[in-house]
Amino acid sequence: MTLIFRELYHQDLLDTTYYAHDSFLTSKRSVPVSQATRDRIESLTNSAIALADEQIKANPNDANAFFARGYARGMHASFITLVDHSYYAAARQGFAARGDSEQALKIDPDYADAKMAIGIQQFAVASLPRVIRIMVGIAGVSGNKEKGLDLLRESAAHGIVTPIESRTALSLFLRHDARYPEAIVVQKGLADQFPRDYLFRIEVANLTKDSGNGPGAIAIYREILADAKKPGYFVEPRLHMAYFGLADTQRGQNDIAAAAQNYLLAAAEPTCSDWLRRRAQLNAGEMFDLLHNREEAIKQYQLASAGGGDQSQSDAAHRYLKTPYAGK
């Protein structure tokens, strides 16, 4: 789990803004994970499943082994979904994880941790457009959003292993369905419990922004950036996430000049992924067009559409190179 989520973090795949809508399902984004890291993740996944298989073979009523196997499968499904967009393989893996967790609950109905995988799958399946469910071969698999959320609440409240993961997933799903007040309560609880967790803090700001409280979100982003200046306060804070979120919020508040500068700061961060850097450059170009600084706007569009690397912003950048962005 550590290896998978460290890699997702370094690839800017733990910014939940990316999953707030279903557009990520059709994203053509390329994620450059090294073969060595991929091999290590596959090896660890296979080893964990093999160890669980051995325990289940020795004792078919070992609830812990079923839970562990489902957990390993669920982690692997997350990785191949977000990195490779391998929805068919991920759906089958996720369904298997749900089956393992259901078996753990059959053995021990009070096994609250096992409810997390089932809850995630219930919500995810119910959220998928029918055409995608058919494409990945799970058209007959049931899903129910409210049941999924309730299961996550139960694993968060009573689980031993999964309370933090369950609350994190719960917040993400509530954000996906624009239930911002509920999501903020869950996420703020995590951030208050772990004030030096950079991602939990960022997510509170993101949710505050999405809820329509621009000034409140701006204050939180600035507080995060101030804490990041304290030596050792955060571990590997990827500051471009905060700068980009701050810029988006300032843009929504019509503070165009400030937004332009913070998009530039996001793009300039050395840890910024190529994908997010080019998004920041494109958005900075749009801001400079609105400020009637066409020369700087063109410069940013050229950077966003440069050859090599991520090309997801190229079409829009080429369009604005021909015709200035007008805010429509």
74 located within any domain: yes
98 located within any domain: yes
89 located within any domain: yes
**pLDDT value at position 129?**
61
320 located within any domain: no
238 located within any domain: no
User: Could you tell me the two tokens for 207?
Assistant: 């949710």
How many percent of the chain have pLDDT more than 90? 76
**pLDDT value at position 26?**
57
259 located within any domain: no
**pLDDT value at position 17?**
75
309: left (phi over 0), alpha (psi -120 to 50) or beta: left
User: Which residue type, as a one-letter code, is found at position 303?
Assistant: L
Cβ-based burial of 145 (10 A; exposed 0-12, middle 13-18, buried ≥19): middle
Range of the domain at 87: 1-177
Is 0.85 surpassed by the pTM of this model? yes
11 located within any domain: yes
**pLDDT value at position 74?**
92
Q: Which residues of 89-105 are buried (b: 16+ CB within 10 A; e: fewer)?
A: ebbbbbbbbbbbbbbbb
Question: Mean pLDDT over all residues of the chain?
Answer: 91
**pLDDT value at position 24?**
54
CATH number of the CATH domain containing 43? 1.25.40.10
Residues 6+ apart with CB under 8 A from 144: 122, 123, 126
Number of domains comprising the chain: 1
- Mean pLDDT per block of 10 residues along the chain (328 residues) reads 93 79 60 93 97 98 97 92 79 87 97 95 78 52 87 97 96 94 97 97 96 97 98 96 97 97 97 92 98 98 90 92 91
User: Any idea of the CA torsion for 164, 190, 22, 119, to the nearest 10 degrees?
Assistant: 30
Please give the backbone phi and psi of residue 234, each rounded to the nearest 5 degrees, phi first. Answer: -110, 155
**pLDDT value at position 142?**
66
111 located within any domain: yes
Helix-helix angle 198-210:163-176, to 10 degrees: 20
Cα 7 to Cα 147: distance, rounded to the nearest angstrom: 31
